[in-house]
Chain A
Amino acid sequence: MSDHIPRQHGASLLTKTARTKKRNAAETRFKAYGIVAISISLLMLLVLVTTIFSKGLGAYQQTFITLQVELLEKKLDKKGNRNLADIKKVSTFGYAPLIKSAVAAKVEELGIESGLKTKQMAGIVSKGAAAQLRDYVIAHPERIGDTVEFRFLASSRVDGYLKGRVHRDRIGNDKNISPEQLDLVDGLMAAGVVNKTFNIDFIIGADASDQRPEAAGMGVSMLGSLSMMLVVLALSLPIGVGASIYLEEFAPKNWLTDIIEVNISNLAAVPSIVYGILGLAVFINYMHMPMSAPLVGGLVLTLMTLPTIIISTRAALKAVPPSLRDAALGVGASRMQAVFHHVLPLAAPGILTGTIIGLAQALGETAPLLLIGMVGYIASNAPDSIASGLLSPNSAMPAQIYEWAKRADPAFYERAWGGIILLLFFLVAMNTVAVILRRRFERRW
């Protein structure tokens, strides 16, 4: 008691004393602070999630143009003998005229008035269309001479126009699109030739060059992240859990183990970019591992994740009551039997949760990956891109997002947000798994 208010004997319980009122007021204030703090954080979360979804959902839809292309024999197979080697000699430049004439034919068929030249009309189709056409012809040489229906990606400007990113009155200086082309798009859209649909290629596809943001996808970088996570899981779980068990259950408590303990806690706070430069120096410069390889990325992220796993595993082991170890030792179990038969099963949910949280942290880590070059530009789609496995160059989800955010074309910006949605999806999924595992394996004692 700091101030002395003598308690009155015989005072009524029905009236509150000044002291009680003060205490109650303090409690009410404290509750109010808590509610305000939580409301602010919920509001921030709401703003964050809405922003991400409003900016990123666009990436999951893409504008396509459906065209009937006549695969002219005189352009594609001059000799007419369907020899694959000869057909392959025709480059994508050879296919461009086919697309031009297909667009022109479509415009004429629909009777749309347009003052544009054929070349400008074809500008609404993605630059990747010729390659798509060529791939098809090489795969089906027997169709040469037929007219085949194709769904081509529209150019990113047309796509942006349909998504409200490109505005008629703001394209004055844009070489890639003109108001006349937009008129044409309007016409084609009314006829159902141009339409916006769900774009699975954003999820499973590879990155694309600066010229073709409409074709860029997260798929390959997702595979890169997946292979890194496998490396991290395979290395950090056994090493981390083994180290924790040794430190917690077997190691003598002396100055050496004290130093190790302090350093593990410190390592957990080391900025991730430091691990990146360490990986660059040790794994790439000294051990000559390949650059941009998921194996190196996984190793660096393992180093980064280990302290997290060790700390959470030790906490989980500490939480197991010592009476249980006594019980096991008391019936003549060895230290190792006591740990593996009784302590570890009880600590398992905590260990698993810590591991998954560590993995989720590693999944979202960008800085160390930039230093070891995990920003490989992979343009070939799966399965070609995964065939070479852990040692071939690859990218990772956060590094891919960073790459897109860096590029000049605003169409890539939308894809960066879209990539963040995917990344968050995986993080939320992993944390959910952690919670479920905890619930599932939690046992009481």
Chain B
Amino acid sequence: MDRHDIKIAASNVQVHYGETHAIKDVNVEISDNTVTAFIGPSGCGKSTFLRCLNRMNDTIQTCKVKGNILLDGENIYDKRVDPVQLRAKVGMVFQKPNPFPKSIFDNVAYGPKIHGMARDKYELEEIVEKALRRAALWEEVKDRLNAPGTGLSGGQQQRLCIARAVATEPEVLLMDEPCSALDPIATAQVEELIDDLRQRFSVVIVTHSMQQAARVSQKTAFFHLGNLVEFGETGQIFTNPKDPRTESYITGRIG
């Protein structure tokens, strides 16, 4: 379980939004079975960088990505790579819970369905149950799988989105501030979940909350003004930062 292989290796990544230089020469290595946290003040580029990892930035026309991002040694920005196939491998959970306006079951089943992961209804039901169990939601919703996903509470919706993301069996799970719209209890549940998910996936989480980063992650990257300022073991970043900017941020002087 504790193989710390490199899952994603990004080198010299530059991102431009039209005239804006959003990410400047970022090099980072994300290990397998590890939670990596991206922290930093608003607008520092951490979400932008996260969205580079599954090419969600492709949908933004003005966005140009340069540099190499290797997933298991393959460049995901290679011309031959179909972003749709990539996103099946690199799942994503968004800031605001965004379940489809469909039933809870259909929400989770959608990914497996379009990827042809189930041969029949029973297999699909199994996949859905497994995903909901992994997202720690099964016990709460097992009696109302046909109820609309949008009718759940905020925390449940976010766990539904996590279930939806893990149902397609991704290898990497990207989470863009998954708890920012949740109350402390729901946040605690999701954080506990993230720790479980680490067993099977490589998890990358963007967060505003330094406490959250300290609680859930093993590695932390600090972004500031588009630069990756410091990247290292979470414990080291929070107790013994090497860069003065990191220290100012975690002690609350900037950001």
Contacts and interface: CB of A to CB of B under 8 A. Distances in A.
Interface in A316-347: 321, 323-334, 337, 341-342, 345-346
A413 to B, nearest CB: 53
A165 interface: no
Contacts of A345: 101
B34 interface: no
A348 to B, nearest CB: 12
A443 interface: yes
B182 to A, nearest CB: 16
A328 B61 CA distance: 18
Contacts of A445: 101, 150
A345 B164 CA distance: 20
B91 A331 contact: yes
Nearest to A324: B98
B85 interface: yes
A323 B111 contact: no
Given A332-B115, A333-B84, A346 B101 contact: yes
B94 A332 contact: no
Which DSSP category, helix, strand, loop or mixed, fits chain A's interface?
Answer: helix
A342 B84 CA distance: 16
B173 to A, nearest CB: 10
A444 interface: yes
Nearest to A322: B59
User: Which among A324, A327, A333, A334 has the greatest number of chain B C-beta atoms within 10 A?
Assistant: A327
Contacts of B197: none
Contact of A329 (B87, B101, B167): B87
Interface residues of A, number: 23
A192 interface: no
B35 to A, nearest CB: 19
A327 B111 contact: no
Contact of A327 (B59, B61, B161, B168): B161
B140 to A, nearest CB: 21
B165 interface: yes
Contacts of A332: 84-85, 87-88, 91, 111, 114-115, 168
Interface residues of B, number: 27
Contacts of A331: 87-88, 91, 110-111, 114, 164-165, 167-168
B164 to A, nearest CB: 6
A334 to B, nearest CB: 5
B150 A444 contact: yes
A252 interface: yes
Contact of A328 (B54, B96, B100, B115): B100
A253 B111 contact: no
Contacts of A253: 61
Nearest to A330: B92
B236 to A, nearest CB: 32
Given A333-B114, A337-B114, A327 B99 contact: yes
A235 to B, nearest CB: 31
A80 B111 CA distance: 85
Given A327-B161, A332-B84, A332-B88, A341 B98 contact: no
Interface string A417-445: 00000000000000000000000000111
Interface in A237-267: 252-253
Contacts of A443: 101
A134 B48 CA distance: 85
A342 to B, nearest CB: 6
B81 interface: no
Contacts of A325: 59
B56 interface: yes
A334 B86 CA distance: 11
Given A253-B61, A342-B100, A330 B84 contact: no
Given A323-B98, A445-B101, A330 B91 contact: yes
6 A-B pairs with least C-beta separation: A332-B88, A331-B111, A330-B92, A323-B98, A445-B101, A332-B87
Interface of A: 252-253, 321, 323-334, 337, 341-342, 345-346, 443-445
Interface of B: 54, 56, 59, 61, 84-85, 87-88, 91-94, 96, 98-101, 110-111, 114-115, 150, 161, 164-165, 167-168
11 contacts: A327-B161, A329-B87, A330-B92, A331-B91, A332-B111, A332-B114, A333-B110, A333-B111, A334-B84, A345-B101, A444-B150
Given A324-B101, A331-B87, A332-B87, 12 more contacts: A323-B98, A325-B59, A326-B59, A327-B98, A328-B100, A330-B165, A331-B114, A332-B111, A333-B84, A333-B111, A333-B114, A346-B101
